[in-house]
Each structure stands twice: as C-alpha cells, then as structure tokens.
Chains A and B, each alone.
Chain A
Amino acid sequence: MLSMQNISKVYRAGLIETHALREFSLEVNEGEFVSVTGPSGSGKTTFLNIAGMLEQFTSGRYELDGRDVSSLSDTQASAVRNEKIGFIFQSFNLIPDLNLFDNVDVPLRYRGFRAAERKRRIEKVLETVGLASRMKHLPSQLSGGQQQRVAIARALAGEPRFLLADEPTGNLDSHMALSVMELIAEINQGGTTIIMVTHDPALAEMANRNVHILDGHVSNGDADTPFSQVAAA
C-alpha cells in the first residue's frame, strides 16, 4: 500500500545541509498498524510528513496505492490526501471557533459531499468516538482526551484507508492515552492502515510492527521485523 524506496530529504539553509532522511526505504501493507520510534531529530516526523504528502522529498520514489505521488500536481496531491489519508496530531489541531460538528466537517467540505451525506458521516464518527451528544460544543469545552477523540473523528470522517498519527497521546495523561490508543487499535481492526509515531515503547508495543529510525534511516534491519522481535533485539 505504501512503498518508499531510497527516500532522502535534505534541508538547506544557506551552505548548511541537514539530512533528515537518508536512503529511507519502507513498505507498509494494507491493514497494518506500524509504530515508528526513534530519538528526537532522527527523522520520524519528516518521514510522517512525506508519507502524508505534506512535504516534498529530495530524492527517491514514493508510491501510495501503486501510484507515484512525486509527479502529482498540488490539486491532485490534495485530493489524494483528502480521500486516502487521515491525520492525527499530538496537539489535536482543532479549529477553536468551530464546534465539533464543523471541525469534523472540514475535510468533508473539501471532498465536495452534499450536506446530507456530510451530516450522516459526522454523526456516525462522533458516535464512534463517543461524542455524539456534544456536537455543538466548542473544543475549549472538552478535555484533552475528548479533543483528541474529535481529531480522530475528523480523520475518520472521510473513511481514509491510511491513518497517520504523530504522537497522538503526547499531550494526554496515561488514562486518556490508553483510551485513545484503544480507539486507534479498534480503527485498525476495522481495516484502516495506521502509521503511528511515538516515543513511548509501551504504546509502540500495541502496533503489529515497529520501525525504528536512527539518523534518517531505518535502523532495525529490513524494517519488516514484527515488534516482538525488535523489542527482543
């Protein structure tokens, strides 16, 4: 489903070059739940941004669903992002002056769904995350855990095949983090492919497979190692 071959990402600031990713290769199959770990500055977030087409890579080849995404125009890339990819951010990134309904509505608007279809989807996903009764609330009226649930609902509303989560529990206490992780695991069991960046080994354990990044490339062998084997190593 996701195939990266020899991806490099170099940031240039004047004469200084920073290699965020070096010859990075990874294959993720449909329905997998992959955790991505690594120390700060190792390139985890860069990988996630490239996977989500939020950032261009310097060289290499990236295919999503068999399609080379490097040649897509901005409009085409945006459409792919909208239809196939859902994002969950560490700091939720809800729009503060939109209520829950309207926050979840954002990606659906860009998809061009009619009002009735949008309403059906929004009600369904808010029901899934247990916040159907709070549709008209503003994000500031919710706890951190609830806000992350709304962000998950927003990511799911377009029924993406691919969910990218960047430290989804980083701003939550352990109780709320567990609850959110259970929700993410449930989503994966429903067939959605998930790639989750995390610092927390305990959360990484919940994935089917772990990819450890160090100095911009995959450090745990062929990157197809099941989590249990990585942990043992």
Chain B
Amino acid sequence: MFSYYLKLGLLSIRRNPLMSALMIAAIAVGIGACMSILTVNYAMSGNPIPQKSEQLFYVQLDSWDPNSPNDDGSFDPPDQMTYTDATALMKADKAYRQIASFKGSLVLEPQGDDERPFSVLSRNTWADFFPMFDLQFLHGSGWDDAADYNIERVVVLSKETNERVFGGENSVGRSVRLVGMDFQVVGVLDEFHPAPKFYDVTNGAFNDPEDLYIPFNVGIEYEMPRAGNTNCWKSIDGDGFEAFLRSECAFIQFWAELIDETEKQEYMDFLNAYAEQQKLLGRFPRPLNNRLNNVMEWMEEEEVVDEDARVMLGLSLLFLLVCLLNTIGLLLAKFLGKSQDISLRRALGASRATLFVQHLIESGLIGLGGGILGLGLAWLGLRGIEVLFGEYVENLVGMDWVMVLTAIGLAILSALLAGLYPTWRACNITPAEQLKIQ
C-alpha cells in the first residue's frame, strides 16, 4: 500500500500546485534558515578526532597570580603554559606521549628567482605531534626524537604549502628557506583541517591549521618569531629572549596522551607533585588547581560553541516552528478541501487509520520537497554567512552527508508533525454529510 499512498500523494500535490508550492516553500524557508545555523553549530560542536578524543588530554598548570583573575574573570588555571613548565613536563616524559607547541609566523623564501617570499604560519612542536594526533602523510613522515634534541632544522609541510612551493611534487629531501635558514623537508601532510582546531583553540578555534611544522627546540634556539596569544601576570625580569623564556608568560599549549584512567590519575598526581615542588621554589602561589581535560571537555571548557551561536540556533528553530504553523494552516485547508474524496474512500472501505496513513504520507512528500528546496536555501544561507564573516567561518559552512540527511529528515519530520492535526480532522469527517451534497 505504501507505493499506492505515494502515488495518491503525488496526484494530490499535482492537483493543487499553488497550495502545494506554498507549503513546500514554507517548509523550505524554515529548513533553510534552521539548517544554515545548525550546520555552523554542528561544525563547531563536532568531535575533531573521535577515534582518540577520550585519551588526549589538554594540560593546565595553575601558575597564575593569586590576586588577579584571568582575562575572563575566573580563577581557572591559565589556558596556556610557561616555557619553564612545558620543558619540565617534556623532560619528565611521564605520559605515553606528550607534546608542547606554540604558533609562529615566518617568512618563506622560495628557491626560484622569480618567486617572491611570503608569510607562513608555523607550529613549533615535538616529534610526537604527528602520531599523537593521527596525522596522515602524503610523502615522508614526521621527524624523529633525535631531531628534537639535536635541534635539527627539519620541516613538515602542509599539503597546500607543498603545492604552493613544490607544485605538489614529493619534496622530501629538498629544502625550504625560512627566516634566512635552510630547513630540510622530511614530510608532507595529507589533508588536515580539523574543525574545531582542537590542538590550539586559544588562537582561534576555527582558524586554518598552520602551513608548516618545525621542531619546538629549533623555534626556541633560533628565537623564531612567535604568533598567537601570550599572557603574563608578572613583569618579565630582565631583557631579551632568555628572560622571556624564564618568565611567567604563558604561550605554549601542552597535550598528553594517556591510555586509561589509571594513567590519567598517575599523570594528575605527577602534575600536582610538580606544582608542589614549584611552590617550594616560590612559584605556583595559588592552591593546587591543575587540570586534565580530554578533547571534548576542553572544547566545552573553552566554549568553542559560543553563546551567540546557541541563541541563533534557538531563533532559527523558532522560525522553523512559525513556518510549520503556516504549513499546518495550509494543510488543514488542503485536507478539508479533500473531504469529498475522503468520504468516498470511507464509503469504499477505507478505515480512518488507512486514510490517516495515506495523508501523513502526503504530508511527508511535501516535507521531502521542502527538504530538498530547503537544502538549496541552506546552501545559500551558508554562502551568506561566509560572505558576512569571512575566513573565520570558512571551515564551518560546509554541509556533509550527515547534515544533508538531517535536513531531509528534519523536513519530513516537521511536515509529518504539521500534518498530524489536519489529517486527524480530515479523517474524522462524517462521510455521509459529504456524499449527500454531491
């Protein structure tokens, strides 16, 4: 009977093309608005590394001023770590894997005479950055631990940078010139666009990943230009880069990979012991308040999905509701207009339940039409958001299959809900009254 109901639904839609078009348009507008905002929220709140987000932990050490809250007014530990602490934790090597990293801004000088230098963003990190975050390589691999400790000038390029500098060829073994020094290419990454950019949300949760990756110690050794946030609660004692590194300025993100709850507890104990030790040295003046948050906890903590986006989502759902109320009115008019057809079918043996299903399927078909048109409107809406907000939302305005199916599903569900009351009313028509007047 399902195919029969589909046929009847299509016939009915064709019978009243204007009214059907109005209903489809009402649902489409609601779905378009809702899905545009939902897509952005979905991208914001997605798990960027689902296969191991439970075992990757962002480390916060509370080295901050006991008398001053953070920038956000809280007494939470700072989002980033000082050089002193990051290097101490790296040296202790207590986690299965751990990495410290910070963002840099460099100038890359291409080898061709005609090519002009251009700015690139770099990430200064450790060898374990690549296996820890499951990065895939097109060519070569990451550097090894020896390169970290021997301060070797090696570099891993993003796919885009490799295409720009080497035309997409395998550039492993070749060199690139950064701030006047040659770096040997050891690897070229495959596509890598995590959204949110979980490993460094303090410098823009939805920014593009960096253009290249170099060893942490190289960045320090050669005092390579840094980019991103640096927060200090004490004035720097002395001048120069060395003094900065010894200061209480936090600019480093630190991640630890801990396989199970026991490892997590042991690592927390280690962090607390480290903090106690630092207290003896006159640092860490606040009570112990060190934190380990896994990826999704950290995204929540950092409010990656901001309040405005949630409010917009609520408003768009309300707008969808308004569109559905319009659809209910139109469906009511349409179905009550079919009272003679319904009465005839009742006379010929259709039960109320059968007619209820038939008309719900018709509502579902209208929803399907609204969903397909709504997808087009959502796409336009997302392009509008992209135009309005520019690069900041570039990684948030793409619809994947999940969102496409969600749009269609939401449209059909909405239409079915909108169709419930009109269908119920239509199925409760007394057939005799309608057949009498024909």
Contacts and interface: CB of A to CB of B under 8 A. Distances in A.
A178 interface: no
Contact of A55 (B345, B349, B350, B430): B430
Given A49-B432, A54-B431, A87-B348, A97 B11 contact: yes
B351 interface: yes
A91 B4 CA distance: 25
A89 B435 contact: yes
A110 B349 contact: yes
A110 B88 CA distance: 79
Contacts of A91: 438
A54 B347 contact: yes
Contact of B348 (A49, A75, A110): A110
A81 interface: yes
A83 interface: yes
Interface centre among B349, B431, B438 (most CB of A within 10 A): B349
A157 to B, nearest CB: 10
A107 B341 CA distance: 13
A116 to B, nearest CB: 15
A78 B438 contact: no
B344 A95 contact: yes
A49 B351 CA distance: 16
B344 A93 contact: yes
Q: Is the interface of A mostly helix, strand, loop or mixed?
A: helix
A74 B438 CA distance: 24
Contacts of B347: 52, 54, 81, 87
Contact of B435 (A93, A107, A154): A93
Contact of A106 (B11, B348, B432): B348
Q: Is the interface of B mostly helix, strand, loop or mixed?
A: helix
Interface string B289-329: 00000000000000000000000000000000000000000
Given A95-B344, A98-B11, A75 B432 contact: no
A158 B349 CA distance: 10
A111 B438 contact: no
Interface string B424-436: 0000001110011
A106 B345 contact: yes
Contacts of B438: 89-91, 93
Interface in A39-62: 45-46, 49, 52, 54-55
Contact-residue size bin, chain B (C-beta under 8 Å from the other chain): 20 to 34
Interface string B400-438: 000000000000000000000000000000111001101
Contacts of B343: 54
B286 interface: no
B146 interface: no
B344 A107 contact: no
A111 B350 CA distance: 9
A109 B344 contact: no
Interface string A103-124: 0001101110000000000000
A82 interface: yes
A90 B354 CA distance: 26
B18 interface: no
Contact-residue size bin, chain A (C-beta under 8 Å from the other chain): 20 to 34
Contacts of A93: 340, 344, 435, 438
B348 to A, nearest CB: 4
B264 interface: no
Contact of B350 (A78, A95, A97): A78
Interface string A60-78: 0000000000000011001
B345 A75 contact: no
B432 A54 contact: yes
Contacts of B430: 54-55
B92 interface: no
B351 A75 contact: yes
A110 B431 CA distance: 17
B76 to A, nearest CB: 63
B28 to A, nearest CB: 25
Nearest to B427: A74
B15 to A, nearest CB: 6
B12 to A, nearest CB: 9
Contact of A109 (B1, B340, B353, B435): B1
Interface of B: 1, 4, 11, 14-15, 340-341, 343-354, 430-432, 435-436, 438
A-B pairs, top 5 by smallest CB distance, nearest first, are A82-B349, A78-B351, A49-B432, A55-B432, A110-B349
